[in-house]
């Protein structure tokens, strides 16, 4: 269990890192004389100032740090900026044992440390089916063929001249939270919900390109999207989706897509599971039947209790999760806390998010932070004063169709426990008296 004492926040006011666990106990027990001595001793040895001086206040204020008394570093020293060295722990990570081949695997976004709704491009989750490539954009082509008047080819030069749109959308893998269908399996929100990201994408609406090729609206029912990588990943998309808000995108958060996210071209299919957002997009075919490709006939099919598989399950239904505090974290102290999380729906906008701290008995409505956009992550926050007693934290989202995120019990009653995909159940985090938060399923 955690090394932190019951009310660790109290001792954080002293200089960091010089108290032993026993001394921490003394502080918690109110033996303040000791604290003054330790404070002074640490100041003398570690910081080289007088004991009297340190006792006047926080050495972080009283002793000017080097960054306040020296020259800083020049512009363009790092021409492409990087996060602070102190942020190194927040990075995408694999879940050990989930897959055996790193080229056909997943890395999860560190949702436990992210703010707002935009995922930094370098922290966007990854899912590759046969490894990633960094493709020369000058050699990349997009072809559109099938039920069109004329099969056409576009270069990146062509595409980037067309009228473009920029829209913020979430992308969630259909298997996100898939490890938890049967039981609690992983410790933190990075691993339970981290196959989720949200970016501003820039590109040309697919409808513009289909129109440019003279799509045969009488016969066309579906389109097939195909990647240029070794797996040439393919997915069928119904025509009404394809003509609605689908984007052939090259931009992500103000710059080009990252190679791991499909540079130089990917499909953005708002509200639909990530596998349909084909990366390194090379071809769109227009047809009148679904294709039953490997990733819609062998994988991404949902096993039901009666032994059938649902095929072409695509919509990411309304879902939410509390990211702070969340599994594997310890609250520093009792008192005021901002419970913060993310909500999203593949069917539209988030209308409301309710939060419970007693395992679902009573709920309070959280604040939705702007912007609240269709098929995008929405950040919610709610004030909370923790009195130090055990609690179970949950969030429950509702979208603008009126659909309410279900409990595990409700989900399993219909879909059983053997599926891998489309688990959008309410997540529970158990908070112990120690301040430790852990992953549980309460229903």
Partner 1 sequence: MSRLTELALVAALMFGATGSHAAGRYEGIGRAATPAEVKAWDIDVRPDFKGLPAGSGSVDHGMEVWEAKCASCHGTFGESNEVFTPIVGGTTKEDIETGRVGAYIRGDAPQRTTLMKVATVSTLWDYIHRAMPWNAPKSLSVDDTYAVLAYILNLGEIVPADFVLSDRNIADVQKRMPNRNGMTTRHGLWDVKGKPDVKNVACMKDCRTDITIGSSLPDYARDAHGDLSAQNRTVGPVRGQHTGNATAAAAIKPHPALELMKKNGCSGCHGIDSKVLGPGFREVAKRYKDDKGAESSLSARIRKGSSGNWGDVAMPAQSQVSDADLGALVKWILSGSPEN
Site for partner 1 in 7-66 (CB under 8 A): 8
| Residue 264: DSSP 8-state | T
3 binds partner 1 (CB under 8 A): yes
Distance CA 288, CA 49 (A): 79
For every residue of 407-428, DSSP letters joined together read PHHHHHHHH-S---S---PPPE
Q: Cβ of residue 56: shortest distance to partner 1, in angstroms?
A: 24
Among 97, 138, 370, 387, binds partner 1 (CB under 8 A): 97
> Within its chain, how far is the Cα of 323 from the centroid?
10
What is the footprint of partner 1 within residues 270-299 (CB under 8 A)? 271, 282-283, 285, 287, 289-294, 297-298
Among 47, 62, 315, 372, binds partner 1 (CB under 8 A): 315
Our CB check for partner 1 shows the closer of 28 and 44 to be 28
Among 89, 370, 385, 387, binds partner 1 (CB under 8 A): 89
Q: Cβ of residue 206: shortest distance to partner 1, in angstroms?
A: 14
| Residue 107: DSSP 8-state | E
3-state SS, residue 261: helix
Our CB check for partner 1 shows the closer of 36 and 409 to be 409
Our CB check for partner 1 shows the closer of 197 and 439 to be 439
Q: Cβ of residue 401: shortest distance to partner 1, in angstroms?
A: 8
For every residue of 286-303, DSSP letters joined together read EESS----HHHHTSS-EE
In sequence order, the β-bridge partners of residue 433 are none
- Residue 276, token pair as written in the block: 């349909």
67 binds partner 1 (CB under 8 A): no
Distance CA 170, CA 316 (A): 10
Find the helix packing angle between 32-42 and 21-28, rounded to 10°: 140
Among 93, 221, 258, 334, binds partner 1 (CB under 8 A): 93
- Residue 330, token pair as written in the block: 């310890």
Distance CA 343, CA 317 (A): 11
> Within its chain, how far is the Cα of 375 from the centroid?
14
Among 226, 278, 279, 379, binds partner 1 (CB under 8 A): 226
Q: Cβ of residue 37: shortest distance to partner 1, in angstroms?
A: 26
Q: Candidates 35-43, 117-125, 260-268, 391-399 — which segment interacts with partner 1 by CB under 8 A?
A: 391-399
Size of the site for partner 1 (CB under 8 A): 134
> Within its chain, how far is the Cα of 223 from the centroid?
28
Our CB check for partner 1 shows the closer of 12 and 32 to be 12
Handedness of CA 307, 309, 315, 319 (dihedral sign): positive
3-state SS, residue 165: strand
What is the footprint of partner 1 within residues 144-203 (CB under 8 A)? 145-146, 148-154, 158, 161-162, 183-188, 190-191
Whether the CB-CB separation of 270 and 167 falls below 8 Å is answered with yes
Our CB check for partner 1 shows the closer of 40 and 155 to be 155
Among 124, 169, 193, 422, binds partner 1 (CB under 8 A): 422
Contacts of 365 (CB under 8 A, 6+ apart): 352, 353, 354, 355, 382
Q: Cβ of residue 217: shortest distance to partner 1, in angstroms?
A: 5
374 binds partner 1 (CB under 8 A): no
Among 125, 199, 398, 419, binds partner 1 (CB under 8 A): 398
The CA distances from residue 441 to 178, 316, 403, 405, in Å, are 14, 21, 21, 15
What is the footprint of partner 1 within residues 230-259 (CB under 8 A)? 230-232, 234, 238, 240-241, 244
417 binds partner 1 (CB under 8 A): no
3-state SS, residue 279: coil
Q: Cβ of residue 255: shortest distance to partner 1, in angstroms?
A: 23
133 binds partner 1 (CB under 8 A): no
Distance CA 30, CA 392 (A): 30
User: For the chain, how many residues are written?
Assistant: 443
Cβ atoms < 10 Å from Cβ of 166: 13
6 binds partner 1 (CB under 8 A): no
Our CB check for partner 1 shows the closer of 258 and 352 to be 352
In sequence order, the β-bridge partners of residue 356 are 394
320 binds partner 1 (CB under 8 A): no
Q: Candidates 60-68, 75-83, 87-95, 117-125 — which segment interacts with partner 1 by CB under 8 A?
A: 87-95
121 binds partner 1 (CB under 8 A): no
Among 324, 378, 419, 427, binds partner 1 (CB under 8 A): 324
Element spanning 206, H or E: helix 206-212
Q: Cβ of residue 320: shortest distance to partner 1, in angstroms?
A: 12
130 binds partner 1 (CB under 8 A): yes
260 binds partner 1 (CB under 8 A): no
Distance CA 103, CA 307 (A): 31
């Amino acid at each position: 269990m955690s090394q932190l004492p019951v009310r660790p926040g109290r001792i954080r006011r002293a200089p960091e890192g010089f108290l032993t666990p026993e001394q921490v106990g003394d502080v918690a027990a109110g033996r303040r004389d000791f604290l003054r001595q330790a404070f002074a001793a640490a100041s003398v040895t570690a910081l080289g100032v007088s004991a009297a001086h340190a006792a006047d206040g926080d050495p972080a204020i009283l002793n000017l740090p080097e960054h306040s008394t020296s020259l800083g570093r020049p512009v363009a020293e790092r021409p492409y900026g990087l996060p602070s060295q102190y942020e190194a722990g927040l990075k995408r990570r694999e879940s050990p044992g989930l897959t055996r081949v790193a080229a056909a695997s997943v890395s999860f976004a560190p949702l436990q440390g992210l703010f707002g709704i935009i995922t930094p491009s370098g922290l966007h989750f990854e899912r590759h089916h046969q490894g990633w490539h960094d493709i020369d954009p000058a050699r990349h082509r997009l072809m559109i063929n099938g039920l069109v008047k004329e099969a056409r080819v576009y270069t990146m030069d062509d595409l980037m001249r067309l009228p473009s749109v920029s829209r913020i959308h979430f992308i969630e893998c259909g298997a996100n939270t898939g490890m938890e269908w049967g039981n609690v399996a992983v410790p933190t929100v990075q691993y339970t919900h981290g196959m989720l990201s949200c970016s501003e994408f820039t590109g040309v609406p697919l409808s513009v390109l289909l129109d440019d090729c003279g799509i045969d609206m009488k016969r066309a029912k579906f389109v097939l999207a195909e990647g240029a990588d070794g797996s040439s990943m393919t997915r069928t998309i119904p025509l009404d989706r394809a003509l609605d808000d689908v984007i052939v995108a090259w931009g992500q958060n103000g710059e080009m897509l990252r190679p791991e996210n499909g540079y130089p071209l990917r499909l953005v299919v708002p509200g639909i599971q990530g596998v349909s957002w084909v990366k390194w997009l090379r071809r769109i075919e227009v047809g009148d039947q679904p294709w039953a490709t490997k990733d819609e006939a062998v994988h991404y099919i949902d096993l039901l209790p009666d032994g059938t598989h649902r095929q072409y399950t695509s919509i990411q239904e309304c879902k939410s999760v509390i990211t702070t505090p969340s599994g594997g974290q310890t609250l520093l102290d009792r008192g005021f806390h901002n419970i913060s999380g993310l909500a999203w729906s593949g069917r539209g906008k988030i209308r409301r998010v309710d939060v419970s701290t007693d395992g679902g008995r009573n709920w309070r409505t959280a604040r939705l932070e702007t912007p609240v956009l269709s098929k995008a992550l929405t950040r919610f926050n709610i004030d909370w004063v923790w009195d130090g007693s055990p609690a179970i934290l949950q969030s429950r989202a509702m979208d603008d169709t009126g659909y309410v995120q279900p409990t595990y019990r409700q989900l399993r009653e219909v879909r059983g426990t053997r599926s891998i995909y489309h688990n959008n159940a309410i997540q529970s985090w158990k908070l112990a008296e120690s301040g430790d938060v852990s992953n549980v399923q309460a229903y």
